[in-house]
Structures are given as C-alpha cells and as structure tokens.
Amino acid sequence: MLKMFLRSAAVGIAIALAILYWPAGAAKPPAVGAKPLVQVYTTKTCKYCKLLRQYLGVRGIAYTEYDIESNASARRAFEASGGRGVPFVVIGAQRIHGFNPVALERALAHAGAAVAVSQAQSASG
C-alpha cells in the first residue's frame, strides 16, 4: 500500500515539475478552415485532463477540446481515432494516450507547432 502511494506521489511530482519547468514553445495558429492541429478528448472529472489543459495553456498552444461524456459525436470520434482512455490527444497523424509531456513536445515539434528548444535558446543568446 505504501509502495503504491509513493509511486503515485512520484508520478504526480514529475507531472507538476514537467508543467512548471518544461520550456514553452511558440504555437502556430491553424490555417483558416483547417482541421484543428491539436485535438484533445477529455472528461470533466479526469485529473490528468486538467493537467493537460494547464500544460497546453501555459505554453499558449491552441487546441480543440472534446468532452466524450457529454457529447455523443465526440465519443464516436474518440473511439474511431483509437481512443482507449482520457486524456487522448491527436496531433496531426500522431496519437498520444494519457498525459505524457515528452510525447506531447515531440509530436508538437514534429507537427511544426512548437519551436525547438535549441532554436529558441540560440535566438535569444
């Protein structure tokens, strides 16, 4: 029981640190009429969904959120996209299950939505 508590506490601390200290990238707005670059499938009561919203918000990354509990068409799109649990993030052709800051940054960089850390640092220095 203590082992499980310590493990979940460590995960929570790692997530909080990632939100606070992961370098922010500059987001590109989607083209007019384009499908949203970042699509997020969530529920209102999911704590990792809340962390994901904070993470994206702090970085200024535009996203479209779909609540799969209150919206039947969002639920069908979630299932059709391969969603198995929330949060579920679709960035371009990439799918990310759960809240994973490293995978999010990689997918955003690959999709061109975030500036690479090295580029941001070299531009400022």
| pTM, two decimal places | 0.65
pLDDT digits (tens, 9 = 90+) for 8-63: 665 566 566 555 555 544 444 444 445 558 999 999 999 999 999 999 999 888 99
Tokens 């996209």 label which residue? 81
Residues 83 and 68 sit within 8 Å (Cβ to Cβ): yes
Contacts of 26 by beta carbon, 8 Å cutoff, 6+ apart: 60, 114, 115, 120
The listed CATH number (3.40.50.720, 3.30.70.1880, 3.40.30.10, 3.20.20.140) that belongs to domain 35-124? 3.40.30.10
Look up residue 104 and give its amino acid. Answer: L
- Give yes or no for a contact between 92 and 41, defined as CB atoms under 8 angstroms apart: no
